[in-house]
Amino acid sequence: MKGISLHEPYASAVAWDLKRIETRGFQLHWRGDLAICAAVVTKFADRIWSPELGPYFRQAKITERKQLAFGCIVAVCRVSMCIPTVQLYGKIPPQEQAFGNYEPGRFGWILADLKRLKTPVPLRGQQGIFNIPKEAIERMEFV
């Protein structure tokens, strides 16, 4: 299984089904299961209270930093498509737009078949797409 690291609160946004499109600066040709890892970096965590994202997190009852995971796998999904963001912007709900960077030259990875983990599995992520160790996969239990 492949994995990708997202800063919090974006990893939790995927895990709690608030975000279904991951925007990146590169096109992804690979399709398949993808583990969503919450990076250890905490500098963006306060965005759960931002005017743009706060209402969505409150809707999911995420109101405190301690509800976020850092350095853990929080969900598994499937990458079903990769589309240039210029084809997506204006055609997706405001919530999805709030969670991504839809500037020209970027790509939206469409995430499907989301499964949130019952308990986050500790794993220090990496940059780019990486392989998830077998031991981490064996520890995954889904909600």
User: What CATH code would you report for 2-138?
Assistant: 2.30.130.30
Residues 133, 124, 14, 74, CA torsion sign: positive
Domains in the chain: boundaries: 2-138
Per-residue tens of pLDDT for the chain, all 143 residues: 999 999 999 999 999 999 999 999 999 999 999 999 999 999 999 999 999 999 999 999 999 999 999 999 999 999 999 999 999 988 999 999 999 999 999 999 999 999 999 999 999 888 899 999 999 999 999 99
Half-sphere exposure in the Cβ direction for 117 (13 Å, CA):
24
The answer to whether the pTM exceeds 0.75 is yes
